Homo-oligomer: A and B are copies of this chain.
Amino acid sequence: MKRGSSDLPTSVRPPAKRVGGARASSPPTKSSATAGRDAPSTRAAKAAERRAAIVDAALDEFTARGFAATRIDDVAKRAGVAKGTIYLHFTDKEAMFQELVRTALVPTMQRLTSQPAPGVSARQMLETFAETFLRDVAQTRRGDILRLVMAEGTRFPSLAEFHYRNVVEPGVAGIRRILELGVARGEIHAASLAQFPQLAVAPVVLSVIWQGLFGRFAPLDVQAMLRAHLDLIFGERTAP
């Protein structure tokens, strides 16, 4: 439907229910024949599939309409399940919302910030960060989720805090490390930058909001802007 209706590792949470292990990948060898022993495997797989479909549909609806305006009915329809089924997986609309949004960004953010980055320059590290962010977040449904957090965070303090602990804080810390490296290596002159790593991420935040609100009629060349931002931090690139 939209950009990346399935670009997320939908299985936000493993099947969980019975039979923890069996993943949906293994083919149902003998299928459900007469309800033999591998039936549970199939059943679990189906459950996982269902859950994934719900998660996926819910994220679509929530990002499109916000928490309050999203109808469970629509989520169910989009997921191809009955309304009641949703309540087998989530206690509550709010619980669903929070759980989904909470977990939707964590894996990505981990990947984004855990750049081991061996001996590359700080500038390159930030460039990689920016590229990855653009590719994996800004241009996928994750950008919508980020916007959703910003939009609904005020109404769901625990969600905001979760997001802070798991997404923002690690991200800021990672950036800070890079900046300190840059300062130590003399790549960066403004020493105070390392005290406010937020300054390095601010353009990224702005771009997410901008595209969401104004992108339709006033698109922003985010890539160029981020490059200009790096130039500001590191000075203009001398030679390519």
Q: How many chain A residues have a CB neighbour from B under 8 Å?
A: 54
- Chain multiplicity (copies): 4
Closest chain B residue, CB of each to CB of A153: B213
B residues in contact with A153, CB < 8 Å: 212-213
A contact face: mostly helix, strand, loop, or mixed: helix
CB A9 to nearest CB in B, in angstroms, measures 24
Report whether B199 and A229 are in contact in the complex, using a CB–CB cutoff of 8 Å.
Answer: yes
Q: What does the 1/0 interface line of A206-240 toward B look like (CB < 8 Å)?
A: 10011011101110100011011101110110000
B residues in contact with A67, CB < 8 Å: 68
Q: How far is the CA of A159 from the CA of B75 in the complex (A)?
A: 26
Further contacts, 4 of them, CB under 8 A, given A206-B206, A232-B233: A150-B151, A151-B151, A154-B212, A202-B203
What are 27 inter-chain pairs, A to B, with CB distance below 8 A? A66-B154, A68-B68, A68-B69, A69-B155, A147-B154, A150-B209, A151-B151, A151-B152, A154-B213, A157-B216, A163-B213, A168-B214, A190-B228, A190-B231, A190-B232, A195-B224, A196-B228, A196-B229, A198-B220, A198-B225, A199-B203, A199-B228, A202-B203, A202-B205, A205-B205, A209-B209, A232-B232
